[in-house]
Structure 1
Amino acid sequence: MSRPSTRLRVLAAVAAVAALVTACGGSSGSGGGDGSTIVEAVAAVPGGLAFDAKPGGYEAFEYTLLTGATLIRNPYVQASDDPNAKTQDLYAFEGVLAERYELSPDQKTFTFHLRQGVLSQAGNPFNADDVIYSYQRKWKTASIAKAISFPAIADPDTQLKKIDDYTVSWTVAEVGHGFPLLAVISKISGEIYDKELLEQHATADDPYAVNWSNTNGNFGFGPYIMESYQDGQQITYRANPNYPLGRPATERIIQRVVPDAANRASLVRNGDVDVAVQLRPSDVQDLSTTQGVTTFTADTNNFLWAFMQTQTAPFDDVRVRQAMFKAIPYQQIIDQVYKGRANPVVGLLNPQAPNYVSTGLVDQDYDPEGARALLAEAGHTAPVPITILMSNAVPDLQEAAVQIQSFATDAGFAVTLDVVPPAVFQERQNSKQFQMMMMRDMSVSYESPPYSLLLAYNETVDARNSTMWRDPAYYEAVKKGVSAGDALSPEAMAYWNQAEQVWQAGRPQVQIAKAQPLMAFANGVTGFVHRTDNVLDFSVMSKPASD
């Protein structure tokens, strides 16, 4: 698949987009735009506009949420730990493009009844053909959706069926795949495409118009229509009057590129932008005491992760991996790097899940004496040299790595930091050219145990297993969890716990901490929701109308 062009063309002049909006008719909901504009300071614009082809990153996820829509989503509820925030109820679902769904008596087939009268951003009617086409495209192109939807979705051609123009069904192989199916199709990888529009731009070399959509956008049913794209500068959006949940209250969104995090913080502090994202933890802490600025303390799934390459020295020895687990100054990182705006982590699963089991999982504590004892047992009498790889695009990674570099000395390690551009980091991660790597990322379907357990440890696909750690006992426990039926049942949770204990013993990865939201709102902007993709849903945000 070709790389996106360095400059995506402006999709249409403002006048042309205005004509499109007018031609599409009124809102399908009761809401209406109030003429307001929210200006957001972002680190970058996405390098491509199609989830199937574009590079990852915050900006790509936010674009997808702005312009895409899924069959269902997790409803938004008040966060228990932050009065200024909402969060997702990860164990409930509500309709977006689907009005409702029902489950068959054998608990293996979900029938979705689709909304009628919905139009795409291009004005094409939504129906079951769009759903079928979308999953054909996801599975027959290089989309990441295929890898992250396993095991619930293995083959859409056999699992997804059109019943009539406004009804589709999903059938899973086992009852235990049912909840994971709902979890994954409710996230941004489950966005539905405008079949009619994309087929107009298909070619023999690009039968699903992936390349075309990667540089054109507006091929879905989301809350906003992209108005213009200026590479390296800004993107503008206009509210979609045909969004199935109603026209968003905020009429326009302007994303302005401000590469430096400190400058983004200054802009929101001074009221020059309404929202700033991808901030440094220290800046968020400073902004938390600034009058007229709102920051957020909701618990997240935005993890600071460290992965160790288990096929090469020194981390091919599990004792060295366990020693590194003890060599990390967890509380120091939370206090000094995140200024207290991060939470400890135990295990891979959501501890808020129904029937969650934490048996045998150990707390993360800095233990230099224990680390040195393990290294001695492994035959290391001198400091063990290791290099930590990380991207220069995430400032808190470097700050955390400096803390590890300092504190690991007493634990028997000599640490070198290798800070590289994002593209280099991605290439070396994919090619396994690292000893240890750090990244801040999330488990988007965090509520689904098999998703979280298999996300970084694919049993057969090397590209989805950076550490190359594979343990038959781990996969056996996951399979037993699936076979137990309901993925959230006490029986299944016991097997998920077994898998976590195997993972903990093998220690290919360290969950260092999870950062609280790294964004800030100014000028009375409201509507913050912590989502598992850790980006903003502008469709529920608003700000006071100007005088």
Structure 2
Amino acid sequence: MRKQKNKLLVTVAASLAFSALAGAASAETLIVASPQVPEGFDGDALKTHTQNVVVQTYENLVVYGKKMVDGQMKNDPASVEPHLAESWKISPDGKTWVFKLREGIKSPYGNELTADDVEWSWSKSFAQKRTGNFIARVSNVIGVKALSKYEVEFTLSAPSSIFLKALTLYVPGIYDSTEVKKHATTEDPWGLKWMQSNTAGFGAYHLETLRPDDQAVYVANKNYFGGKLHFDKVIYKEVPSEASRVTLLKTGQVHLIDRPSIQKVVDLQKDSNVKVDRASGRSIASARMNPKCKPFDDVRVRQAFNYAIDKDALNKAVFAGQADIAKSIVPPIVDGYNPNHYPYDYNPNKAKALLAEAGFPNGISEPIKLLYADAFWHQEPVAIQVADMLKKIGVTIQPTRVTTSEMRAKGSPKKMSMCFFTWEDGPIVLDPVYTMYLISHSKGVSNRAAYSNSRVDELIDKSREELDAGKRLSMMDEAQKLWVTDAPWILTTYPATFEAMNPRLNGWVHYPDEHERWRELKMK
């Protein structure tokens, strides 16, 4: 009883604090409620909610262009525009790129962006051998060197069709190396310890204060090259309870909440005090079958499982009907998406016939475990729906919960030991080659179910070095068709992305990393 009373007091106190905060905040302060404040600010060492704020403090040499689609501003995957860099040149062999930086860009510390900052930032990623190093490998980057104060050269091992789009990512972020070096030590040459609670970028915002388990406060970079920002300050408040975050939004005490669950989205869409923006998702909710495991070593079984799933019914049951039905491993927001190769409309009779051809005329009575975890909220309900639908064609499925860490370990490139499991993957680079390389190449880091097709590998490898857009898309179209025929996944949906906000807040643009940019937001 005493613990419950203390929790109640904490809740009331938090509510009062928010009321005072909202009253004190001017029109130039944005208040965001999140499940947790960041545990670090190094884009290469992602911790809880790091991504949400790294994109606000570190920016890129280039960005996607924008286009209006159905009344909503979106990133244009076919267009890459200058940002920190104002121009670039490419060698005839496609292996050397020289970027000219904009002059006069300054960090909040007053240090000017130079080519040395770009070289240092990429060297940091190479040394850490984590996220940024992976992006370098995928895009064939083997060296980055400052040529002059404002010119930086990227050397590639081979031409790369992915490289320019990969530079739109938040990692490797471009750091103010002059400032970071002040906090480096012999044991910590990259200043990583300092970065756990500080930022040093050339982006729109800069961390002012951090109170773990409470809030992080960001202030506008007064030197920001993109011009004056609408919000002078952003308060990023930790509110673990989703119900509390929703209440705070409905009552106007916060302006924005991080990606609400679909159940809350349905509720918020009915509230006139809230605006919910939606964007088609980049990720695929799926149930994956490992072709090295029986009975999935027979393509007819994999195809049968696909025909057995009523995806419209699953969408309604799990995603409140607000997801998009998946018909390709390449999502619709990526160039080259082609749903026309997909034959698996709901057809239980076809599913039974394929099972019979595969030697299972009476279905499969021996239970097959379908693993799920809680890395994504929909893993369990998707597993339950898939099990129920496969039961109708005589297949016994046993949904089995495992830990997220266990699932990640079993699905690592070195193991790929899971036979049947639910998961979600999607590209943060809006490119079909990157997408297929990531999750359908036999050496792809997200190919967790051991899918392998030598022709698909060949098409992907050739496309990675093919700079002619038409030829690349043609090869990726063939690869999609082969992958769909092989049917290694039960494609269900592309879960949509939702952002819930104050109705006066405008400027939200959906990014492939699924994090808003505070620099683009304005209050009417």
TM-score class, shorter: 0.7 to 0.9
Matched, 1:91 2:78: yes
- Alignment correspondent of 1:498: 478
Deviations 1:75-116, CA, capped at 9 Å, x for gaps: 3332x22x3x32111222222211222444555543321122
Deviations 1:405-438, CA, capped at 9 Å, x for gaps: 2222113333333345544543444354533332
Q: Within 2, Cα distance between the matches of 1:525 and 1:108?
A: 44
Equivalent of 1:168 in 136, 152, 164: 152
Deviations 1:184-226, CA, capped at 9 Å, x for gaps: 011222421222233334444443333542x123032221112
Q: Secondary structure at the match of 1:493?
A: helix
Alignment check: 8 A CA contact 2:141 2:157 kept: no
Q: Within 2, Cα distance between the matches of 1:351 and 1:287?
A: 26
- Alignment correspondent of 1:531: 511
Equivalent of 2:30 in 38, 52, 64: 38
Q: Within 1, Cα distance between the matches of 2:26 and 2:105?
A: 22
Higher relative contact order (CA 8 A, sep 6+): 1
- Alignment correspondent of 2:320: 339
Sort the Cα spacing of 1:189 and 1:313 in 2 relative to 1 into closer, same or farther, 3 A.
farther
1:372 CA displacement: 3.0
Q: Within 2, Cα distance between the matches of 1:138 and 1:378?
A: 49
Alignment check: 8 A CA contact 2:203 2:221 kept: yes
Q: Secondary structure at the match of 1:138?
A: helix
Alignment of 1:134-153 (within 5 A): 134-153=121-140
For normalisation by structure 2, the TM-score amounts to 0.85
1:377 CA displacement: 3.4
Alignment check: 8 A CA contact 2:200 2:206 kept: no
Matched, 1:112 2:112: no
Sort the Cα spacing of 1:539 and 1:352 in 2 relative to 1 into closer, same or farther, 3 A.
closer
Sort the Cα spacing of 1:219 and 1:389 in 2 relative to 1 into closer, same or farther, 3 A.
farther
The count of aligned residue pairs is: 496
Q: Please tell me the residue identity of whatever aligns with 2:57.
A: T
Alignment check: 8 A CA contact 1:301 1:532 kept: yes
Equivalent of 1:361 in 341, 345, 355: 341
Q: Within 2, Cα distance between the matches of 1:274 and 1:131?
A: 35
Q: What stretches of structure 2 of length at least 5 have no aligned partner?
A: 1-24
Q: Within 2, Cα distance between the matches of 1:433 and 1:265?
A: 40
Please give the root-mean-square deviation of Cα atoms over the aligned residues, in Å: 2.8
Q: Please tell me the residue identity of whatever aligns with 1:52.
A: D
Alignment of 1:98-497 (within 5 A): 98-104=85-91, 108-155=95-142, 157=143, 160-172=144-156, 174-175=158-159, 177=160, 179-213=161-195, 215-351=196-332, 356=336, 358=338, 361-380=341-360, 381-392=363-374, 394-420=376-402, 422-430=404-412, 432=416, 434-446=418-430, 448-460=431-443, 464-482=446-464, 484-486=466-468, 488-489=469-470, 491-497=471-477
Q: Within 2, Cα distance between the matches of 1:527 and 1:164?
A: 37
Q: What stretches of structure 1 of length at least 5 have no aligned partner?
A: 1-32
The percent identity for this pair of structures is 25
Q: Secondary structure at the match of 2:519?
A: helix
- Alignment correspondent of 1:65: 55
Alignment check: 8 A CA contact 2:459 2:476 kept: yes
Sort the Cα spacing of 1:465 and 1:147 in 2 relative to 1 into closer, same or farther, 3 A.
farther
| 368-377 vs 337-346, which moves further | 368-377
Deviations 1:472-526, CA, capped at 9 Å, x for gaps: 111111233345432x21x222211121222223333343211222221115111
Alignment check: 8 A CA contact 2:442 2:450 kept: no
Sort the Cα spacing of 1:236 and 1:424 in 2 relative to 1 into closer, same or farther, 3 A.
farther
Q: Secondary structure at the match of 1:188?
A: coil
1:445 CA displacement: 0.6
Q: Please tell me the residue identity of whatever aligns with 1:145.
A: G
Sort the Cα spacing of 1:465 and 1:212 in 2 relative to 1 into closer, same or farther, 3 A.
farther
Sort the Cα spacing of 1:359 and 1:392 in 2 relative to 1 into closer, same or farther, 3 A.
closer
Alignment check: 8 A CA contact 2:85 2:102 kept: yes
- Alignment correspondent of 2:17: none
